[in-house]
Structure 1
Amino acid sequence: MNTKFSYIDLIHRRSSRRSYKPEFLSDKIQDQVNEIIVTVPTGLFGTDSSFRLIHKSMAADQKIKPGTYGFISGAQHFIVGKTIPGAEAFVDFGYRMEWIILQLTGLGLGTCWLGGTFTRSEFASLVDLQGNEVIPAITPVGYATERRSIRDRLIRLGAGSKNRKPWAELFFDGDFDQPLDRLQIGEYATALEMVRLAPSASNKQPWRVIKADNAFHFYLQRTAGYGRMFPAIDLQRVDMGIALGHFELSVRELQLSGHFQAADPGIAHPEGTEYTLSWV
């Protein structure tokens, strides 16, 4: 499904909304959301994941109380995603779910990535979780209130949601010691800026990119100790999928050539840093 907006515009417009008007989506809008879900592109590694739109009445019918520990208020609908855990699967999950979220932004709907602040067992009951499947993240879907609640503003303040790391900490030229000069890479600077604006768990922004020759190499720089609470779910790989998606959607819109592939350049990198993919 294509939106009437540019993806670059949608990336700028998207923000995490935690307060919603307590109203159900119309049947027409639900149909549009479901169309988005079934047309989500395949992930970069080709792994399987699935997404489902649910509403609170489904939970009430089953006497289930899905919760978000007070982080979300008013929302009547959620999109719940599931996958079989694996390094590549988590990247694909982030890539695919962010595409869905950007499409929802184009419909004027509010969303908010939730990777840890929801009751997984209750949501699992609503999507018929099978075998070793896991739910890496969910998002509320609905009409955000005009004003953010005090709780929402405090959460954003605590997470530093508006803050993004400067270019010199994220993007490099040739190796991890030389910051990349955005004035030397033409329109690719716009694509990297869209990476910089990507949402991430606890706003850790774990992506790093090295430009070497005519390629952009993407790395995951792990946050020490992060993820111990949910060892079965690698939220920072989910974050990498979001960043990769932002880059690809932007370069396609800018009509720049290239594609993602595994092409590890063997560049020395800091401890805790892992190669992911390259744009060549």
Structure 2
Amino acid sequence: MSLIFNKPLTEIIKDRYSVRNYEDKALPKNLTEEIENYISKVDNPFKVKVRIHLIKKDTYKDVIKLGTYGVIKGANYYLVSACEKEEFALEALGYTLEKVILYCTSLGLGTVWLGGTFSKGEYAKAINLKENEILPIVSPVGYEGGKKSLLASLMADHKNKRKSYSEIFFYEDFNTPLSSEVAGEYSEALEMVRLAPSAMNKQPWRIVKVKDDLHIYNSGKIDMNKIDIGIALCHLNLYMNEKGISGEFKVTNPNIESKYKYVISWIRNK
């Protein structure tokens, strides 16, 4: 086993939770440099370009108002993500930003996905958003601290509210729920997927195990759910890579009758 971060991925995934109140102080320069260096090298399996910037709020205080409508308190740094409008762009953005967020978690920093509660136009100015790009997500990053705002308290994290294994994972078709016992060596990988964050904790991913392959479907109806799928795929792929289980994402035709939209498959290398 070869660690991806400074400790096992399973620990980092379990350590991550939504942080909405931060210490109102600057991060050490060496820490921001580490994050920026990681961002410069981060990739995704979809071969889609995703731009991620670590921006310091104080840098723009005299020209741009980077707001979060009262949801976030004390944050001075934000991860701002953008991509062009193309196939698999939102899945790639979810995958790539989650990889950076997990890295920040490994450094002891807090984050939270923000999809609608931020002033998009102002953040777009901060990263010089291009005409053909979209900016659907930002995340504050920093050390947790201070008192939560009233709005943040009302939006308290529900990290323990997750669908059961049998609700989202299936065996050979959608009529047969998959148990962790039948999942075998994929059991923990799928548990890491189950723990992935998603908009309103909807967990839109549905996965069908057929022999050694995993077919991923989307039960959601909005674009944000595509980002959720990307986050789940990040957890799945990073786990497989860390455990040395060889496979890759491919668009196939699994021929499984479904009311959900097929996205992609993780195919184990023979």
Relative to the length of structure 1, the TM-score reads 0.90
Q: What is residue 230 of structure 1 aligned with on the other side?
A: none
Contact 1:187 1:254 in 2 (8 A): no
Residue 138 of structure 1, CA deviation? 0.6
Which letter maps to 2:247? G
Q: Can you list the C-alpha shifts for 1:36-72, whole angstroms capped at 9, x where unaligned? A: 111112x2221111111111122213x2111111111
Could you tell me how far apart the structure 1 residues matched to 2:22 and 2:133 are?
29
Could you tell me how far apart the structure 1 residues matched to 2:177 and 2:79 are?
38
Does 1:276 pair with 2:263? yes
Does 1:208 pair with 2:203? no
Structure 2 residues without counterparts, runs of 5 or longer: none
Alignment of 1:118-197 (within 5 A): 118-145=118-145, 151-156=151-156, 160-197=158-195
Residue 85 of structure 1, CA deviation? 2.0
Q: What is residue 14 of structure 2 aligned with on the other side?
A: 12
Could you tell me how far apart the structure 2 residues matched to 1:213 and 1:30 are?
44
Contact 1:87 1:237 in 2 (8 A): no
Does 1:248 pair with 2:246? no
Q: Can you list the C-alpha shifts for 1:139-191, whole angstroms capped at 9, x where unaligned? A: 1011111775654342126xx44300011110001111110121022221000
Secondary structure of the residue aligned to 1:121 is helix
Secondary structure of the residue aligned to 1:247 is helix
Could you tell me how far apart the structure 2 residues matched to 1:263 and 1:56 are?
44
Q: What is residue 231 of structure 1 aligned with on the other side?
A: none
Could you tell me how far apart the structure 1 residues matched to 2:253 and 2:46 are?
15
Could you tell me how far apart the structure 2 residues matched to 1:58 and 1:147 are?
24
Contact 2:55 2:78 in 1 (8 A): yes
Which letter maps to 1:249? L
Which letter maps to 1:95? Y
Structure having the higher strand fraction is 2
Does 1:22 pair with 2:24? yes
Secondary structure of the residue aligned to 1:90 is helix
Q: How many residues align?
A: 265
Percent pairwise identity: 38
Residue 255 of structure 1, CA deviation? 2.1
Contact 2:250 2:266 in 1 (8 A): yes
Could you tell me how far apart the structure 2 residues matched to 1:129 and 1:146 are?
32
Specify which of 264, 270, 278 is matched with residue 253 of structure 2: 264
Secondary structure of the residue aligned to 2:190 is helix
Moved over 6 A (4+): none
Aligned-residue RMSD, C-alpha: 1.7
| Greater CA drift, 196-205 or 247-256 | 247-256
Residue 7 of structure 1, CA deviation? 1.3
Structure 1 residues without counterparts, runs of 5 or longer: 228-233
Q: Measured at CA, do residues 266 and 36 of structure 1 come closer, stay the same or move farther in structure 2, by a change above 3 Å?
A: same
Could you tell me how far apart the structure 1 residues matched to 2:70 and 2:266 are?
40
Q: What is residue 115 of structure 2 aligned with on the other side?
A: 115
Contact 1:19 1:144 in 2 (8 A): yes
